[in-house]
Amino acid sequence: MTEMEQVKSHVERKSRNWFDEHAPQIRELKFTLYLLRQSPMVVAGFVLVALFIGMAIFAPWIAPHGPEERFWNLPQQPPSWRFPFGTDTTGGDIYSRIIWGSRLDLTIALTVVASAILVGSVLGAISGFMGRAFDEALMRVTDVFLAFPALILAMAVAAALGRNLTNLTIALMVVWWPTYARLVRGQVLAEKERLYVDAARAVGAGPARIIFRHVLPNSIFPVIVQATLDLGGVILTAAGLSFIGFGAGAGVAEWGLMIADGRSYLFQSPWIACFPGLAILLSSLALNLIGDGLRDVLDPRLRR
């Protein structure tokens, strides 16, 4: 092939890089972003999310102190220039700990939602497309999962596995995938009756190709919306579980745990619980704003 590379220099050919090849997809993406920009709420959501992601990525440079650094002689200090959000009961800088905490909470949210989408949509798509026994079996399984309140089930799983962040993540994954399986199954059931599926069959495509190349991409828009909304939901649930004691071990900079630490001093030193609470509120609010915006924009009926 090296020879061919040399030959190419002699041949007039259009440079075909990745961007050229994916021009149509990029064009659609740009249009979607253009539509999203029309809504101030979505823009606000994006700005906030960007802020939180930036916080998570650049935590070592932004945070003035380490996540577990303690000023033992300065506990429960009110907000000041030195400690913008005050200090907690053990003298940790709440401002720094919130920044470090964004790393943990965003990672949990992303991992849980990503794996739930992966497992849920593959199983849901196969279930919806194949139907019959597999569909019936899988749907009864999801029924079992959905019969429990999400928080209770996650608590049970986390309790069974032991108290740490990895197990918390696993517990949330177990709780979250059935939602996606159901969502995708419903979409696939509707999409598989469409004519282009018959058309794909008529040109000799096999079932795997039809499911993953034709039907699934058509069913994915509601999943994107649901995923954005769920990111906020997972942050809330994870914090909730940490708050009641399933999750991060004592002293870890995690938002839910920080609230739990401050709850006994809510009246003497409200800043200990309030600022982490604000972080949770803002991050899940921002994700919900984006999710709502996406729902409007990605709905093909409203689109053109």
Partner 1 sequence: MPEAILQIRNLKTYFYTYAGVVRALEGIDLDVYQGETLGLVGETGCGKSVTSLSIMRLVADPPGKIVDGQVIYKGEDLLKKSEAEMQQIRGNKITMVFQDPMTFLNPVLTIGDQVSEVIAIHENLALDVVRSKIDECENAIKQLDPKSPDRERLMNRVKELEALKDKPPKYSRREMKKAAIRRTIEVLKLVQMPSPEKVIKQYPHELSGGMRQRAIIAMALSCSPDLLIADEPTTSLDVTIQAQILALLSELKKKIGSSILIITHDMGIVAEICDRVSVMYAGNVIETAETKALFKNPLHPYTQGLLKAIPKLHRDVEELEIIPGSVPNLIYPPSGCRFHPRCPFRMDICDKEFPPFIEIEPGHSVACYLYKEKK
- Asked if residue 6 binds partner 1 (CB under 8 A), the reply is yes
Among 30, 37, 82, 213, binds partner 1 (CB under 8 A): 213
The residue (of 72 and 206) whose beta carbon lies closer to partner 1 is 206
Site string for partner 1, 18-57 (x = CB under 8 A): -----xx---x-----------------------------
3 is an interface residue for partner 1 by CB under 8 A: yes
Binding mask 170-209 for partner 1 (x = CB under 8 A): ------------------------xxx-xxxxxxxxx--x
User: Cβ 118 to partner 1, closest distance in Å?
Assistant: 19
Query: Closest separation between CB of residue 22 and partner 1, Å?
Result: 9
Residue 2 or 268: which CB sits closer to partner 1? 2
The residue range among 16-24, 39-47, 119-127, 285-293 that interacts with partner 1, by the rule CB under 8 A, is 16-24
Q: Does 5 sit near partner 1 (CB under 8 A)? A: no
Report DSSP letters for 134-198, one per residue. HHHHHHHHHHHHHHS-HHHHHHHHHHHH-SSHHHHHHHHHHHHHHHHHHHHHHHHHHHTTSHHHH
Of the two residues 4 and 160, which places its CB atom closer to partner 1 in the complex?
A: 4
d(CA 99, CA 104): 10
**In the structure encoding, which two tokens stand for residue 296, read together?**
């409007």
Q: What is the DSSP letter of 77?
A: P
Q: How far is the CB of 214 from partner 1 (least distance, A)?
A: 5
Helix (H, G, I), strand (E, B) or coil at 25: helix
- CA pair distance 276, 256, nearest whole angstrom: 7
Q: Does 148 bind partner 1 (CB under 8 A)?
A: no
When asked if residue 214 is in the footprint of partner 1 (CB under 8 A), the reply is: yes
Task: Return d(Cα 23, Cα 14) in angstroms, integer.
Answer: 14
Task: Kindly state whether residue 160 participates in binding partner 1, applying the rule CB under 8 A.
Answer: no
Size of the site for partner 1 (CB under 8 A): 32
Q: Give CA–CA dist 104/96, Å, rounded.
A: 13
Under the binding rule (CB under 8 A), the answer on residue 133 touching partner 1 is: no
Minimum CB separation from partner 1 for residue 67, in Å? 43
- 93: β partners: 87
Q: How many CB atoms lie within 10 A of CB 44?
A: 15
Determine, following the binding rule CB under 8 A, whether residue 304 of this chain makes contact with partner 1: yes
Q: Which of 273, 233, 230, 286 is nearest to 97 (CA)?
A: 273
In the structure encoding, which two tokens stand for residue 37, read together? 């920009």
CB nearer to partner 1: give 6 or 73.
Answer: 6
Nearer to partner 1, 147 or 203 (CB): 203
- Label residues 5-20 b or e (16+ Cβ within 10 Å = b): eeeeeeeeeeeeeeee
Interacting residues of 298 by C-beta distance below 8 A, sequence separation 6+: 32, 221, 222, 224, 225
Binding interface with partner 1 (CB under 8 A): 3-4, 6-8, 10-13, 16, 23-24, 28, 194-196, 198-206, 209, 213-214, 217-218, 300, 304
